[in-house]
Amino acid sequence: MLYVFMVFVRPIEQFAPEIMAYRPILILWAVTFLASVVEARQRGGGAASRQHFAVLAWLSVVVFVSVLLHSDLSAAMGAFGVISTPAMLFVLTCLNVDTIERFKTLTKLFLGCVVVLCFQGLLAFHQGVNLEMLIIPQLAHENVILPKERPTVPALDDSGAYIWRLRSVGFLNDPNDFAQTIIVVAPWLFMHLPEKASAIWRMILVSPWLALLGYVLTLTHSRGGMLGVAAALLFFFKDRIGKVWAALFGMAGVLAFSLGLVGGDRGLTGKERSASERIDAWNDGIQMLKSDPFLGVGYGNFTEHHERTAHNSFVLCFAELGLLGYFLWIGLIVLAFQALNRIIRCLKSDDAHAQYAVLLRTSFVGFLVCAWFLSRTFVPTLFILMGMTVGLLHSARMRHPQAQVPELHQPLLWRMASAQVVVVTLVLVSMFIRFSR
């Protein structure tokens, strides 16, 4: 828990940066990892199966080899070190989250960290505290008339010259990343409400926290974040409104996003510069895949072949790691969704595991929709989410023996499904490029 708090809130970096020279986070990680391994062995092993660790290990090998083939051993070791951070977060989550009680504790900690960061951001926006660290001022439009002095409190700025974008610290120092994480944790509020409370009372309890997260989300001015919220809500309510209507609303949302009808002052149209740059990056990503289909151009080398990053986690993955790395990365995501779907399908709707699986799946959908417009292939949040799905499935299997629910204990068949997702996403990227030009 301490390690997760340190990774997200970054108190040392904020309040005692001089200590960072002694690598305290690395030391804490080593201690946490060793303690987790010892405790997991005492409990009979962690939540992950061999196939999870095998896919993760092969993905790490592909990262190493992809860089080695295009650079040298030193660069390959550096890339392996970078990928080890999210990979070990996945491992730590699998080692520690093996019961539903621990799962709830992690979600509570995750929520607490994000709420702390939200209040910190509100202080910056309304009081100007840590303004330079937590706020990014952007010009409202190209021909804006700037005031003589830039306001020191964004909330008091009435010039209309700036868009004040709220961000956070660490790997959430981009407004889009912060928005994405808020979308991930918002559904988890419903995990911590009184079980016997009425629906009205539950909404009364959760509304202030949803309002807080929603308000901070709007301050990020993240276009992808707005679309991520819509996608998560549609996915959550699809069984109530019907899959056909959900699909129609989803397509309408994508169209509105493409035409710049959502996202406030930062609306996106196919003819705008940002949209054109995004499409060019995706097209160059396809060309990188064609140049080296098996292992790509090498992890971290996208910007060696294009002036900007991919602005799409999927494009970034297959461009840098080729079809092999992309298949393995997609495989981890498919395993996560299969685990959640298995829980939902096999257990009764009033079972806590099934209820949490629905909420976690909603978080996953919101995350991946945002990831379609962000270069966040190996962000820590994704690997923690995947580890949480492993832990929830393990807990469900422990609570419901194979004799009672045999289907729940059947192995997850991820290879064919992953290959299908690879093909579908490649086609989607190609179609988006074709129809956006």
Amino acid at 183: I
Q: What's the rounded Cα separation, in Å, for the pair 145 and 136?
A: 18
- Whether 148 is in a domain gets the answer no
* Band (228; pLDDT cuts 50, 70, 90): confident
Domain extent at residue 369: 2-10+44-106+168-435
Backbone angles phi, psi at 135, to 5 degrees: -130, 135
Q: The tokens of 322 are what?
A: 């080729």
pLDDT mean across residues, the chain = 86
Instruction: Tell me the average pLDDT across 161-188.
Output: 91
pLDDT of residue 274: 65
Q: Residue 162 pairs with which residues in a beta bridge?
A: 139
Q: Residue 136 pairs with which residues in a beta bridge?
A: 165
Q: The tokens of 256 are what?
A: 């509105």
pLDDT of residue 386: 96
Q: What share of the chain in percent tops pLDDT 70?
A: 90
- Whether 87 is in a domain gets the answer yes
**330/9: higher pLDDT:** 330
Q: Which helix (H) or strand (E) holds 164?
A: strand 162-166
Instruction: Tell me the average pLDDT across 110-138.
Output: 92
Entry pTM: 0.88
Count structural domains, the chain. 1
List all residues 6 or more positions away from 5 whose beta carbon is below 8 Å from its beta carbon.
Answer: 109, 113
Tell me: pLDDT of 122 over 50: yes
pLDDT of residue 234: 81
Q: What's the rounded Cα separation, in Å, for the pair 196 and 199?
A: 9
Q: What's the rounded Cα separation, in Å, for the pair 420 and 422?
A: 5
- What is the number of alpha carbons within 13 Å of residue 310 lying toward its C-beta? 29
Tell me: pLDDT of 115 over 80: yes
- Whether 19 is in a domain gets the answer no
Q: What is the per-residue pLDDT across 134-169, written as a single tens digit (0 to 9) for each?
A: 999 888 777 777 887 888 899 888 888 888 999 998
pLDDT of residue 237: 73
Average the pLDDT over each of 253-257, 325-329, 390-394 and give the range with the smallest value.
253-257
Q: Residue 165 pairs with which residues in a beta bridge?
A: 136
- Whether 16 is in a domain gets the answer no
Instruction: Tell me the average pLDDT across 18-38.
Output: 81
**317/139: higher pLDDT:** 317
Buried b (16+ CB within 10 A) or exposed e, 110-140: bbbbbbebbebbbebbeebeebeebbbbeee
- Whether 25 is in a domain gets the answer no
Q: What share of the chain in percent tops pLDDT 90?
A: 50
Instruction: Tell me the average pLDDT across 372-376.
Output: 88
* Band (271; pLDDT cuts 50, 70, 90): very low
Q: Which helix (H) or strand (E) holds 256?
A: helix 243-258
DSSP letter for each residue of 279-309: HHHHHHHHHHHHHSTTTTT-TT-HHHHSSS-
Tell me: pLDDT of 31 over 80: yes
pLDDT of residue 268: 43
Q: Are 429 and 286 in contact (CB under 8 A)?
A: yes
